[in-house]
Amino acid sequence: MQKIDLKSYTLEELGNVLTPLGEKKYRAVQTFQWIHQQNIDTIDEIPVLPKELRNKLSQNFFIDSLKIEKRFDSTIDETRKYLFRLHDDHLIESVLMKYKHGFSACLSIQVGCRMGCLFCASTKGGLVRDLSAGEIVDQVYQMQKDSGVKISNIVLMGSGEPLENFKNVMKLLSIIHDEYGQNIGYRHITLSTVGIPRKMKQLADKKLQITLSISLHAPNDELRKKIVPIARKFSLRSILDACKYYIEKTHRRITFEYALIKGLNDSADNARELAELLKGMLSHVNLIPMNPIKESELRPSSKKNIKQFYDILISKGRNVTIRRELGKDINAACGQLRRDFTEKN
């Protein structure tokens, strides 16, 4: 029988494990606290549990931990990029970023990705597998252990599509938000998706106060199909309808991510079309200077074009920011580090 990782269990699920063993509810709380507050690596490291109980748990369960394969520190800012090795030897990436409001962690959701976005290195090798809730949350714990800082904001914007790994992402949100764990508020969590309408509505029905971010990158279906292949399956209209449903259910503003690519989606006409597309919607546009990757000839827009795009959106009354580039010298864009390391080894 294959052992199960306790780190992937919510507090309620831990209770369901311990109650049949004749244990009271507080044992589940203790176990959860030691896993998600003390960040221990083995069941034997939970001193508050009787030895007999630890032995029972160890028969069917274990506590999985990621291993830091490499860490890269930016010389430009305080960004750190981590390459983690999983128990099956697959590699994933995470990024630790410092802002005025504290430290943010950009987490991977899958090993690889099958969305096929034109400018993203994560998707070049396709999807390998989903990450468990424990593997996702442990990215936070290992970065905190290594860096000695407290992470206050979570961004599900690394490798993979969160809504394709819906069940494990929902478990992650429960675990990371729990008062007996890291107790990170939902408003400090952002989930980024290319836009899967049915799953967006399913997320909306949970009425969590997280920020939903849509990887838009184009103001019309024709152009978006070239940049984000999943657009062949889901139209902008269906995605925007799901966004409106999300806003109605949660009263939360939607963020639209727009990577500016030289000569492809960065014209003045593109900006005006985007402004019209989002008219009347509770939204915010985050313009992203595209990170170039060696597998593609695509290049980022010029500073002049980025400023022009920004000014047009502002003139049309849209809320917009230009994302600050972090960790540019350490390949902080999704998937670059994993691909480089895999190819060399």
pLDDT, residue 344, reads 57
Cα dihedral: 9, 14, 20, 22 (round 10):
150
Residue type, 305: N
Q: What is the mean pLDDT of residues 224-230?
A: 93
Residue of 13, 93, 161, 164 marked catalytic: 93
Q: Which CATH superfamily is domain 112-120+156-344 in?
A: Aldolase class I (3.20.20.70)
pLDDT band of 340, cuts 50, 70, 90: low
pLDDT, residue 70, reads 95
Give yes or no: 93 in active site. Answer: yes
Of residues 14 and 125, more confidence is placed in 14
Q: What is the mean pLDDT of residues 253-280?
A: 97
Q: Which of 119-128, 195-204, 249-258, 277-286 has the lowest mean pLDDT?
A: 119-128
**Domain spans, the chain:** 4-62, 112-120+156-344
Give yes or no: 243 in active site. Answer: no
Rounded CA gap, 252 and 159, in Å?
Answer: 25
Q: Among residues of the chain, what percentage have pLDDT more than 70? A: 92
Q: What is the mean pLDDT of residues 224-253?
A: 96
Rounded CA gap, 71 and 82, in Å?
Answer: 5
pLDDT tops 90 at residue 325: no
Rounded CA gap, 146 and 277, in Å?
Answer: 44
Most trustworthy range by pLDDT among 111-120, 311-320, 329-338 = 311-320
For residue 70, what are the β-bridge partners?
83
Rounded CA gap, 262 and 285, in Å?
Answer: 18
Rounded CA gap, 127 and 131, in Å?
Answer: 11
pLDDT tops 70 at residue 342: no
> What CATH topology corresponds to 4-62?
DNA polymerase; domain 1 (1.10.150)
Q: What is the pLDDT of residues 49-87, one digit of tens each?
A: 999 999 999 999 999 999 999 999 988 888 999 999 999
Q: What is the mean pLDDT of residues 113-135?
A: 86
Q: Tokens standing for 258?
A: 């727009």
Residue of 117, 120, 243, 334 marked catalytic: 334
pLDDT, residue 118, reads 75
Rounded CA gap, 191 and 202, in Å?
Answer: 14
Output the pTM of the full model.
Answer: 0.93
Please name the residue that has the structure tokens 């305080």: 78
Please report the beta strands in the chain, taking only residues with DSSP state E, as ranges in sequence order: 4-5, 61-62, 67-73, 80-85, 91-99, 102-106, 110-112, 127-130, 151-156, 189-193, 211-215, 254-260, 283-289, 320-322
pLDDT tops 80 at residue 330: no
pLDDT, residue 267, reads 97
